[in-house]
């Protein structure tokens, strides 16, 4: 027997009270129902529909069962309910069972869940009606009251379930025809039948796979021969292998609707470069143009960031491809530009070779943010602060406890009280930068493992200082080596 537990839904219970108010002098709480006398209410099960054709578009709809209280023969006995479902010919020999306990009088099954049950548990065929029996069983705490049962018949027609994953494959896609590493589309949270992809597509063709199994005999969505904005669902690779064509490389947004079998292909504004690198003796890359350190492209594809410790010297920003000194660059407007300048120009060649300059006085750790949409740059020193009620300045935004900086090493020496703390690289507004948080919740200061948390995404774990651990402490964090010590 397949058993699924379900908790009482108080909202539905209150709705039931209003329906059967003629039996009660006033509405009761669920606990008060235990001692009531149900001497006139015959147990009766009903469903939202007795015949129904399920459709993929019903992904947000529910199939509902309702039942009356049953008759405890005036004993005041508590009544316990079980709902069972099975194919009619099985005669409840191995039913799916939901055990509700007391005071529950309705139950909802999502249409996708019910559809999957028909196909997998009851062996129904897609598009073919299947006869189902449902029954509610009422048993009683008072053994003198016999078990009561109410049954109904249902005729339900299941649909072919839609995939929950979709992948781009083809010569136009980032990973080509490598099905195992095919590029995933993003499933809509509000409509699971809609998928999107936004990114680079090159000249070539593409289609959609439902998974990344190595066999190319899986199900595919391909182009409709009569309408390039429509798709055809090919089971097991059947049908014509028609694909969509990208005529020119660029940034594209694809929107796919699996119910309507439609596809929208939109070319969107693209950043001029998909990768940037730091080059120069002031940076960790040195003058190695073949293996420079990369920038990170943010959620806004036009904006790139790079953080590192800079020493006295010069640097510039490589774009395009590595290995070409006279290739594409982002450089300042004048040579030996100061780090506080906010303008930058994109150019190529070797004739004008301006660079930023890091002096002995300005050496240290910086975060560079380059916006390729408007050619602006921010080069700001990285400061680290202690934050939390265990620290001298608590949780007060704008006045966190600063750590003393020496290159990539940040140090705090002072009093910690019983409480909790973490680190932050910003001191203006919450969720506008990087936090350094404990690797686990409520982590002891004896454990110095940590994680980076960007813009409040991820777990907000903190270190906990116990009363016994409170007192004068020295905390050191090295952002180059990612080492933390607490003494």
- CATH class of residue range 385-486: mainly beta
- Tens of pLDDT, residue by residue, the chain (487 residues): 444 444 334 333 333 333 333 333 333 334 445 556 666 689 999 999 999 999 999 999 999 999 999 999 999 999 999 999 999 999 999 999 999 999 999 999 999 999 999 999 999 999 999 999 999 999 999 999 999 999 999 999 999 999 999 999 999 998 899 999 999 999 998 899 999 998 888 899 999 999 999 887 889 999 999 999 999 999 887 778 899 999 987 789 999 999 999 999 998 887 888 899 999 999 999 999 999 999 999 878 889 999 999 999 999 999 978 999 999 999 999 999 999 999 999 999 888 999 999 999 999 999 999 999 889 999 999 999 999 999 999 998 778 899 999 999 999 999 999 999 999 987 667 777 799 999 999 999 999 999 999 888 889 999 999 999 999 999 999 999 999 999 9
How many other C-beta atoms can be found within 10 angstroms of the C-beta atom of residue 139? Answer: 17
Contact (CB, 8 A) for 210 and 78: no
C-alpha 347/C-alpha 316 separation (Å) is: 12
Contact (CB, 8 A) for 253 and 245: no
| CA distances to 376, 434, 438 from 458, in Å | 29, 11, 11
CATH code of the domain occupying 276-381: 2.60.40.3620
226 SS3 class: coil
Residue 129: which residues within 8 A CB-CB, separation 6 or more? 51, 155, 156, 157
Residue 466: which residues within 8 A CB-CB, separation 6 or more? 418, 444
Q: Taking the mean position of all CA atoms in its chain, how far away is CA 444?
A: 29
Residue 337: which residues within 8 A CB-CB, separation 6 or more? 354, 355, 356, 357
User: Residue 301: what are its φ and ψ, rounded to 5°?
Assistant: -65, -10
179 SS3 class: helix
Q: First and final CA of the chain: distance in angstroms?
A: 59
C-alpha 84/C-alpha 152 separation (Å) is: 11
Equal CATH topology for 2-157 and 167-268: yes
- CATH class of residue range 167-268: mainly beta
CA dihedral 80, 83, 89, 91 (to 10 degrees): -10
C-alpha 295/C-alpha 297 separation (Å) is: 7
CA dihedral 299, 303, 304, 309 (to 10 degrees): -110
Return the H-helix or E-strand segment holding 114.
helix 111-116
Query: What pLDDT, on a 0 to 100 scale, did the predictor assign at position 169?
Result: 95
Say if domain 2-157 classifies as CATH 1.10.150.20: no
CA dihedral 325, 327, 328, 329 (to 10 degrees): 20
Query: What pLDDT, on a 0 to 100 scale, did the predictor assign at position 33?
Result: 53
Domain coordinates in residue numbering, the chain: 2-157, 167-268, 276-381, 385-486
Burial class (CB in 10 A: 0-12, 13-18, 19+), 467: exposed
Residue 125: which residues within 8 A CB-CB, separation 6 or more? 158
C-alpha 487/C-alpha 479 separation (Å) is: 18
Query: What pLDDT, on a 0 to 100 scale, did the predictor assign at position 22?
Result: 34
Residue 21: which residues within 8 A CB-CB, separation 6 or more? 27
Query: What pLDDT, on a 0 to 100 scale, did the predictor assign at position 40?
Result: 66
C-alpha 388/C-alpha 126 separation (Å) is: 58
DSSP string covering 60-107: T-EEEEEE-----TTS---EEEEEEEEEGGGTTSS-EEEEEEES--EE
From the CA atom positions of the chain, what is the Rg in Å?
A: 33
pTM, to two decimals: 0.52
Burial class (CB in 10 A: 0-12, 13-18, 19+), 88: middle
Residue 75: which residues within 8 A CB-CB, separation 6 or more? 37, 140, 142, 144, 145
Query: What pLDDT, on a 0 to 100 scale, did the predictor assign at position 36?
Result: 66
C-alpha 477/C-alpha 441 separation (Å) is: 20
C-alpha 324/C-alpha 204 separation (Å) is: 27
Residue 115: which residues within 8 A CB-CB, separation 6 or more? 54, 158, 159, 161
């Amino acid at each position: 027997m397949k058993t699924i537990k379900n908790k009482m839904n108080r909202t539905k219970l209150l709705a039931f009270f209003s329906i059967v108010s003629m039996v009660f002098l006033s509405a009761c709480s669920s606990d008060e129902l235990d001692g009531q006398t149900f001497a006139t209410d015959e147990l009766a099960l009903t469903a939202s529909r007795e015949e129904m054709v399920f459709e993929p578009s019903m992904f947000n709809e529910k199939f509902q069962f309702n039942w009356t209280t049953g008759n405890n023969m005036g004993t005041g006995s508590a009544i316990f309910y079980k709902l069972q479902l099975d194919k009619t010919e099985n005669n409840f020999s191995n039913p799916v069972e939901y055990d509700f306990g007391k005071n529950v009088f309705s139950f909802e099954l999502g249409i996708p869940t019910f559809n999957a049950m028909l196909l997998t548990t009851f062996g129904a065929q897609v598009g073919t009606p299947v006869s189902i029996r449902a029954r509610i069983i009422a048993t009683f705490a008072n053994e003198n009251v016999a078990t009561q049962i109410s049954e109904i018949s249902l005729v339900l027609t299941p649909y072919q379930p839609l995939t929950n994953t979709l992948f781009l494959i083809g010569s136009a896609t980032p990973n080509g025809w490598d099905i195992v590493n095919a590029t995933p589309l993003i499933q809509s949270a509000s409509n699971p039948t809609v998928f999107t992809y936004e990114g680079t597509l090159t000249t070539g063709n593409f289609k959609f796979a439902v998974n990344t199994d190595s066999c190319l005999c899986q199900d595919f969505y391909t182009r409709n021969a009569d309408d390039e904005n429509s798709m055809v669902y090919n089971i097991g690779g059947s049908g014509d292998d028609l694909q969509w064509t990208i005529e020119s490389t660029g940034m594209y947004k694809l929107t796919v609707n699996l119910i309507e079998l439609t596809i929208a292909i939109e070319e969107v504004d693209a950043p001029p470069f998909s990768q940037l690198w730091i080059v120069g003796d002031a940076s960790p890359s040195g003058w190695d143009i073949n293996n420079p350190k990369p920038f990170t492209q943010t959620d806004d594809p036009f904006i790139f960031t790079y953080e590192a410790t800079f020493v006295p010297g010069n640097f510039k920003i490589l774009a395009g491809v590595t290995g070409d000194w006279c290739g594409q660059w982002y450089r300042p407007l004048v040579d030996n530009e100061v780090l506080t300048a906010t303008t930058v120009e994109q150019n190529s060649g070797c004739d004008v070779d301006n660079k930023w300059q890091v002096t002995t006085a300005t050496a240290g750790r910086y975060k560079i943010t380059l916006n390729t949409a408007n050619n602006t740059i921010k080069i700001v020193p990285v400061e680290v602060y202690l934050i939390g009620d265990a620290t001298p300045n608590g949780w007060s935004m704008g006045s966190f406890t600063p750590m003393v900086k020496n290159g990539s090493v940040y140090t705090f020496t002072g009093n910690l009280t019983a409480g909790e703390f973490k680190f932050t690289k910003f001191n203006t507004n919450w969720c506008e930068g990087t936090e350094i948080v404990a690797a686990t919740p409520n982590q002891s200061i004896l454990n110095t493992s940590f994680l980076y948390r960007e813009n409040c995404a991820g777990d907000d774990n903190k270190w906990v200082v116990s009363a016994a651990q409170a007192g004068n402490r020295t905390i050191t964090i090295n952002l180059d080596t990612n080492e933390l010590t607490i003494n």
